[in-house]
Structure 1
Amino acid sequence: MTGRTFRMRRLRTGGPAPAARDRGTQPKVVALGGGHGLSASLASLRRITGDLTAVVTVADDGGSSGRLREELGVLPPGDLRKALAALCGDDDWGQTWSRVIQHRFQSQGDLHDHAVGNLLIVALWEQLGDHVAALDLVGKLLGAHGRVLPMSAVPLELQALVKGHEPTRPDDVETVRGQATVALTRGEVQSVHLVPADPPAVPEAVQAVMDADWVVLGPGSWFSSVIPHLLVPELLTALVETRARRVLSLNLAPQPGETEGFSPQRHLEVLARHAPKLALDVVLADRDAVPDSDSLADAAKRFGAAVELAPVAARDSSATHDPELLAAAYDRIFRMHGRIGPWR
């Protein structure tokens, strides 16, 4: 917790998201997460800065990623692929490559449901023998508006203590293994941890956090995409010690399974249990997703954070973020809460 002043502010609804600033005047931003939540954040952040790095979880064990991980012993590439796709531009080149790497084969054979981007990433890992260099090369091919890094260079297994995972034993607490299983549990997740317990962080990811002006955590699956970053010791140390300002972006609604029934403030309480030394500067939430702003304010105060309420949800009731509205909210936060003077 810090001594920063707590404030509750409702952000005004803006027009279209601003274009990215010139390189010399834009913030250096690192976004952490995985899956669709991180993709939503990246698709917004790339609209307001060209100095953007995604740090992605590597504990996925389902679908195409899980099969490649089991067969070849590689990092699961799926969330890395989604991040790269989200960083593709809105021009024909970017949108074509975004569709290509997200394309999944449909067949009766071994290629069924494999994503093209997963195969491309794994092929370059095998060719280059370097996770970071391979992802940089894929990003260059796609014309990605930012860099994508794994949070660790070793495949990780997510494990959770879950109460009532078996409906017939609602009071039992047991260990549930695997990100895919944790994400779909019908029980109450008590805590999560990684195997191995102290995985090494990718040095470039640690350095990116230390060099950033802003670090964005969330939105995303809370226990399986957001909190895992806090379980990598070197990455957590960087998040605690960085001079960057830190914004936590909350989900629009509880996720069926791992956070079913969670209030916005409970998401913060769970985060604090896993990383009690972490401080935040801003907690961003959709104003229509916060029924009790006072309780959220109290939860945010424990982190030393201001709460910003803004319209960031898509208007089609799909429980997804609108990239333009989310970009506008991030831009206003960076301007209002940024340090005095031009961005480096």
Structure 2
Amino acid sequence: MARRTIRLRRFVGGQAVRRGAQPKVVALGGGMGLSASLTALRRITGDLTAVVTVADDGGSSGRLRDELGVLPPGDLRKALAALCGDDDWGRTWAEVIQHRFESKGELHQHAVGNLLIVALWEQLGDHVQALDLVGRLLGAHGRVLPMSAVPLELTASVRGHDAARPDEVSTVRGQATVALTPGEVQQVHLVPPDPPAVPEAVAAVLDADWVVVGPGSWFSSVIPHLLVPELRDALQETKARRVLSLNLAPQPGETEGFSPQRHLEVLARHAPKLAFDAVLADQDAVPDEHSLREAAEQLGATVQLAPVAASGQSARHDPELLAAAYDRIFRMHGRIGPWR
């Protein structure tokens, strides 16, 4: 425990983080990528908000969505689990809400946290209030918000989805399908188009000191945020500095064969006016540093290379290393103004 305390204090200039002396950070994404970012960020700030995609249509989330017409709770649940503390209370609750039932009946593979979140949505009739209540129960080190209060469908234009017609562009529907699609994803869209953003999510982005986008499934978890007009506008208008955090490896299916710089190019295609201050990448995941720096310059960003992968698990982030990398970027680029 002493060793952990020393490392975390180093992140804040040799002193423990004090309320009123820490950056306001908003992290956008979904799934395991966002969870990795949140697990790291809660180590360096106590003022943290997650804004989460709501287009999941697979597994427990998809079943609840189809049966009850609710937002898919799965990525929201994962974000809440990532914000649980490292003490006994936090570890216990993180395990409880991630627990999945094993049965031969209707509860099979439903996650406890999904059922809890949906129950509170039905009881309270308010997505944000219910998620805040779950966060207080868990002792979460931050807030979790959906990017929209409307259940969304993700569609993708995919070249070569049918191997027999490699040049043909076809439409693939559903986040779970897009994530694993063969062929090359050209563009993604949301149904309904131009959905409303959750006002609290927009306000958090506008009030932030730092906004972190990614890592995560690029087309199905990261880019959807840029397809919500109010949220995209807030990302472009905020005075916060912006970090784009890249994945450790291409994802089989939707970004298979993508170079790090290709990730930047497709993001810019979906939000051409969005600029960044820094692009964070693992130093061992960048075979062509020059090309990545050129692509980052098109976004107004510099490239920050750092070891952020877990030892022996090249596709998993190490939370301590990722926290150190974020902290170094925050310090390098300075403050917009006094941290509240």
* Letter paired with 1:336: M
Instruction: After TM superposition, give the deviation of residue 315 of structure 1 in Å.
Output: 0.8
Contact 1:16/1:325, CA 8 A, preserved across alignment: no
Match of 2:250 in 1: 254
Distance change >3 Å, CA 90–CA 239, structure 1 → 2: same
**Counterparts of 1:23 and 1:267 in 2: how far apart (Å)?**
36
Match of 1:10 in 2: none
Instruction: After TM superposition, give the deviation of residue 285 of structure 1 in Å.
Output: 0.3
Match of 1:233 in 2: 229
User: Could you tell me which of 78, 81, 90 is aligned with 1:82?
Assistant: 78
Contact 1:104/1:113, CA 8 A, preserved across alignment: yes
Q: Which runs of 5+ in 1 are unaligned?
A: 1-14
Contact 1:56/1:151, CA 8 A, preserved across alignment: yes
- Secondary structure at 2:79's aligned position in 1? helix
CA deviations over 1:304-330 (Å, ceiling 9, x no partner): 101100000001234100000000000
**Counterparts of 1:342 and 1:210 in 2: how far apart (Å)?**
16
1:129 aligns with 2:162: no
CA deviations over 1:110-148 (Å, ceiling 9, x no partner): 000000000000000000000000000000000000000
1:32 aligns with 2:28: yes
1:273 aligns with 2:269: yes
- Secondary structure at 2:62's aligned position in 1? helix
User: Could you tell me which of 176, 183, 186 is aligned with 2:182?
Assistant: 186
| 1:1-344 matched pairs, under 5 angstroms | 16-17=7-8, 18=11, 21-339=17-335, 342-344=338-340
Larger RCO: 1 or 2 (CA < 8 Å, sep 6+): 1
Instruction: After TM superposition, give the deviation of residue 342 of structure 1 in Å.
Output: 4.0
Instruction: After TM superposition, give the deviation of residue 166 of structure 1 in Å.
Output: 1.9
Contact 1:222/1:267, CA 8 A, preserved across alignment: yes
Match of 1:12 in 2: none
- Secondary structure at 1:138's aligned position in 2? helix
* Letter paired with 1:45: L
Contact 1:53/1:208, CA 8 A, preserved across alignment: yes
Contact 2:83/2:140, CA 8 A, preserved across alignment: yes
CA deviations over 1:12-53 (Å, ceiling 9, x no partner): xxx944376212111000000000000000000000000000
Q: After TM superposition, where is structure 1 displaced by more than 4 Å over at least 4 residues in a row?
A: none
- Secondary structure at 1:223's aligned position in 2? helix
CA deviations over 1:150-172 (Å, ceiling 9, x no partner): 00000000000001112222221
* Letter paired with 1:285: A
Q: Which runs of 5+ in 2 are unaligned?
A: 1-5
TM-score (norm 1): 0.94
Instruction: After TM superposition, give the deviation of residue 339 of structure 1 in Å.
Output: 2.2
- Secondary structure at 2:310's aligned position in 1? coil
Distance change >3 Å, CA 50–CA 239, structure 1 → 2: same
Distance change >3 Å, CA 53–CA 39, structure 1 → 2: same
Instruction: Give the fraction of aligned pairs with identical amino acids, expressed as a percent.
Output: 83
Distance change >3 Å, CA 67–CA 340, structure 1 → 2: closer
**Counterparts of 1:202 and 1:235 in 2: how far apart (Å)?**
8
TM-score (norm 2): 0.95
Contact 2:98/2:112, CA 8 A, preserved across alignment: yes
Distance change >3 Å, CA 277–CA 175, structure 1 → 2: same
**Counterparts of 2:223 and 2:336 in 1: how far apart (Å)?**
31
Distance change >3 Å, CA 219–CA 106, structure 1 → 2: same
Distance change >3 Å, CA 92–CA 187, structure 1 → 2: same
Contact 2:277/2:301, CA 8 A, preserved across alignment: yes
Distance change >3 Å, CA 235–CA 135, structure 1 → 2: same
Instruction: After TM superposition, give the deviation of residue 58 of structure 1 in Å.
Output: 0.1
- The aligned length equals 330
